[in-house]
Structure formats: C-alpha cells, structure tokens
C-alpha cells in the first residue's frame, strides 16, 4: 500500500511539474520575438555609439594634425631666419629644400581640410596614410640641416 501511494504521489508530482512548466506555442513565439527585438535595439545603440566614437576620433585627429601643421609652419619660419644668415652658396640649397617642405606642409593642410568622413574604412585608410606622410615630413624637418640627403 505504501508503494502504491508513493508511486501515485510521484506520478502526480511529475505530472503537475510538467503541466506548470509547459508554455504554449504563442508564449514561446512572443518570448522569442521580445529577445530578437531587444537584440536589435542593442545593435542600433551600439552602431550609434560607434558612429559617435568615429566622429570624435576624426575631430581629435584633425585638431592634433592642425597643431602639427602649425608647428611645422613655425619651424619653417625659424629655418628661414637661419637660412638668411647662411653663406650664399649654401643659401640656395637650403631655400630649395625649405620650399619643398613648405609645399609638402601646405599639401598636408589641404588634404586635411578636404577630407570628408565617408565611413570607417575610408577614415582608417586616410588616417594611416596621413600619419605616414606627416612622419615623413617630420623626419625631413629633423634632417633639414644635414648636407647629404
């Protein structure tokens, strides 16, 4: 008798658990739709944050690059003053090299002004090439007074 009652109790308990835990198809679909909607909202928010971060990065990069270009212009002015004190035979060579540096610096300034943010890939490509070219100009400024290029 005890076995029968115990078996009946376990059966009733298992049946009750199964009935309570089962969801209807409509509830399952609704839950899945809610999860998809939440995921879509998170994607939209993440994309907006990414776009804002890229815009902030572009603005910061432009500001830093403009500062570097201004520093280059100051160096050019200093070089002009030093060149004026040089011997005549050296002056022509230095003036030619300085004119090249001035042209490169103004080209970089124009490139920076003309850049339009067309997307993440274009931005990364532009930034990398621009940084490389600015580094080359910086090296040229550093090596300006070296005679043998």
- Whether 123 and 117 have beta carbons less than 8 Å apart is answered as yes
Q: How do residues 40-49 score in pLDDT, each as one tens digit? A: 898 899 888 9
Concatenating the DSSP letter of every residue in 7-51 gives HHHHHHHHHHHHHHH---HHHHHHHHHHHHHHHHHHHHHHHHHHH
Write down the pTM of the prediction.
Answer: 0.67
Place of tokens 């005549």: 88
CA 147 to chain CA mean position, Å: 39
CA 58 to chain CA mean position, Å: 7
Kindly provide the b/e burial profile for residues 97-127, where b requires at least 16 CB atoms within 10 angstroms of the residue's own CB. bbeebeebbeebbeebeebeeeeeeebeebe
Which pLDDT score is estimated for 55?
Answer: 85
Q: How do residues 41-82 score in pLDDT, each as one tens digit? A: 988 998 889 888 888 888 899 999 999 999 999 988 988 888
CB neighbourhood size of 134 (10 A): 19
Angstrom distance (rounded) from CA 36 to CA 30: 10
**Three-state SS for 143?**
coil
């Amino acid at each position: 008798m005890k076995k029968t009652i115990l078996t009946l109790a376990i059966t009733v308990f298992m049946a009750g658990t199964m009935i309570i835990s089962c969801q209807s198809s409509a509830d399952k679909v609704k839950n899945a739709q809610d999860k998809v909607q939440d995921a879509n909202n998170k994607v939209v928010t993440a994309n907006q944050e990414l776009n804002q971060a890229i815009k902030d990065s572009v603005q910061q990069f432009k500001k830093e690059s403009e500062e570097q270009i201004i520093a280059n212009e100051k160096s050019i002015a200093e070089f002009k003053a030093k060149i004026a004190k040089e011997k005549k035979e050296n002056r022509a060579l230095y003036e030619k090299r300085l004119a090249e540096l001035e042209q490169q610096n103004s080209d970089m300034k124009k490139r920076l002004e003309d850049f339009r943010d067309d997307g993440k890939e274009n931005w990364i490509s532009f930034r990398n090439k621009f940084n490389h070219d600015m580094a080359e100009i910086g090296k040229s400024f550093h090596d300006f007074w070296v005679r043998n290029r």
